[in-house]
Amino acid sequence: MSFARMRSGLLNRRHTLLAALSGGIAAACGTAMAAPDMEAIRDALKKAVGAGGQVAGMIAVAIDADGATSMVSYGSADGAALDGDTVFPIMSNTKIFTSLLLADMAARGEVAFDDPVAKYLPVTLPVTGRPVTLVDLATYTSGLPVMPGNINMEAPGDYTEAMLFENLAGAAPKYEAGTHYLYANLAFGLLGIALARRAAKSYEALVMERICAPLGLSHTRITLSGEMKPHLVTGHEVSLKPATPWNVPVMPGMASLCSNAKDLTIFLKACMGPSSLRGPLARLTQTRRPTSLAGTEAGLGWFITTAGGEEIVWKTGLGSGCNTFIGFSPQRRQAAIVLTNFLWLPIDTGTTNIGMKMIKPDFQAMDFRTLYPFG
């Protein structure tokens, strides 16, 4: 099958899925605050996965205002059923965890949001207008490029810290910090490095100590435990061929974590209700800056989209042959998780719209691609 036909088929499945969600869920819910009809969602997932269900699939989890959860799935991970234990690379959803580290360390007085990032790095960063701060990194407004200019994207594992700092020393930010939205892999990579250096421990150790342990996230890791390894999915490209895992170990703060639906459910419940990290979690949406998409702001790591007078806080991850979405409505106290072990076009707009409609059934599908440099 040609790429054009493959793309057309995937796009058709996306439109069918969104139509099913729009009609099926909205009709089944009856009232705006009701939980989504999970059977309607499962039918929609089936249409989205299509013939790829022998090797690929999707999981959708709905969390309602009283904390009850519902999960449906369709398809498989190389023949095995997808469930709450299935482990996915959550890719750029790692940025939420990195932002939460920043908020937690700021609350403890270990760092300040307005600290120049250069304070924590062994390199002098060129300045455009004013120094780049930690909060600039976390709000997609550092002015730095999406990725360092000297990285080989086909072999990211070969990239070293020395190569990173060499590139940084010779590259001025494209925009003055704090003035312009630009999607920010490099920025979150630097933020993770800076926070780990300040704490004098590895990024992963910091995530496990400051986030995973307090919240009880036993299956959110970079280095997979023996229990997690058998449940790790194989991601798939648009063609449904197995994807090559993609990671930049030297910059773990941007896209390194793996997790499962059970842990992400715990995390979203903490975002919406009482938890030991309530203050730092709330801080993630209190600082906001405009983005390239009307009606959508950047918080710390999160995006916040306003639709029909209601805010939805959300983030996606894309890579290693997987799409992941997590999001919630502070007003409704409803949340959604969508996880796939295959890529589908265009980018992850389809996955995002599924999650949005699970949270707010009357959500009108949007094209989110302008937020991303690869859109």
Domains of the chain listed by start with CATH number: 3-92+219-371 (3.40.710.10), 96-203 (no CATH)
pLDDT at 262: 98
pLDDT category at 36 given cuts 50, 70, 90 is: confident
pLDDT at 25: 42
Say yes or no to pLDDT of 316 above 70: yes
pLDDT at 137: 98
Q: Count of CB atoms within 10 A of residue 339's CB?
A: 27
pLDDT at 348: 59
- Distance (Å, rounded) from C-alpha 90 to C-alpha 217? 14
pTM of the full predicted structure? 0.91
- Distance (Å, rounded) from C-alpha 333 to C-alpha 150? 43
Q: Residues 234-269: pLDDT tens digits?
A: 999 988 999 999 999 999 999 999 999 999 999 999
Q: Residues 261-308: pLDDT tens digits?
A: 999 999 999 999 999 999 999 999 999 999 999 999 999 999 999 999
Dihedral of CA atoms 132, 137, 140, 144 in degrees, nearest 10, equals: 50
Say yes or no to pLDDT of 155 above 70: yes
Q: Residues 105-127: pLDDT tens digits?
A: 999 999 999 999 999 999 989 99
DSSP 209: I
pLDDT at 359: 95
| CA dihedral for 218, 59, 69, 80, sign (positive or negative) | negative
- Distance (Å, rounded) from C-alpha 347 to C-alpha 304? 19
Q: For tokens 């799409």, what's the residue?
A: 323
DSSP 242: B
pLDDT category at 346 given cuts 50, 70, 90 is: low
pLDDT category at 13 given cuts 50, 70, 90 is: very low
DSSP 201: S
Say yes or no to pLDDT of 41 above 80: yes
Q: Residues 213-222: pLDDT tens digits?
A: 999 999 999 9
pLDDT at 69: 96
pLDDT category at 347 given cuts 50, 70, 90 is: low
Q: Point out the least confidently predicted range of 41-55, 167-181, 191-205, 220-234.
A: 41-55
Q: Is the peptide bond before 346 cis (omega within 30 degrees of 0)?
A: yes
How many residues comprise the chain? 375
Are the C-beta atoms of residues 310 and 360 closer than 8 Å to each other? yes
Are the C-beta atoms of residues 116 and 131 closer than 8 Å to each other? yes
Say yes or no to pLDDT of 28 above 90: no
- Distance (Å, rounded) from C-alpha 306 to C-alpha 155? 38
Say yes or no to pLDDT of 3 above 60: no
Are the C-beta atoms of residues 60 and 359 closer than 8 Å to each other? no
Q: What is residue 320's three-state secondary structure? A: coil
For residue 148 the two structure tokens come to 């360092």
Task: Name the residue among 78, 94, 86 with its Cα closest to residue 60.
Answer: 86
pLDDT at 248: 97
For residue 329 the two structure tokens come to 């409505």
- Distance, first Cα to last Cα, the chain: 23
Percent of the chain with pLDDT over 90: 78
Task: At 77, give phi and psi (nearest 5°).
Answer: -115, 95
Max distance between CA atoms of the chain, in angstroms, equals 58
pLDDT at 101: 98
Mean residue pLDDT across the chain: 90
Q: For tokens 């704490």, what's the residue?
A: 199
Say yes or no to pLDDT of 9 above 50: no
Say yes or no to pLDDT of 8 above 70: no
- Distance (Å, rounded) from C-alpha 193 to C-alpha 211? 17
For residue 322 the two structure tokens come to 């997987």
- Distance (Å, rounded) from C-alpha 287 to C-alpha 138? 10
Task: At 290, give phi and psi (nearest 5°).
Answer: -70, 155
Pairing of strands 303-307, 310-319: antiparallel
pLDDT category at 231 given cuts 50, 70, 90 is: very high
81 or 14, which is more confident: 81
Q: Apex CA 48: angle with CA 45 and CA 54, to 5°? A: 85
Give Cβ neighbours of residue 8 (< 8 Å, ≥ 6 apart). none
Q: Point out the least confidently predicted range of 15-24, 31-40, 118-127.
A: 15-24
pLDDT at 264: 98
Are the C-beta atoms of residues 336 and 298 closer than 8 Å to each other? no
Pairing of strands 258-260, 87-89: antiparallel
In the beta sheet, which residues pair with residue 336?
62, 327
Task: At 95, give phi and psi (nearest 5°).
Answer: -60, -30
In the beta sheet, which residues pair with residue 304?
297, 313
Q: What is the DSSP string of 152-203?
A: -TT-GGG--HHHHHHHHHT---SS-TTS-----HHHHHHHHHHHHHHHTS-H
pLDDT category at 150 given cuts 50, 70, 90 is: very high
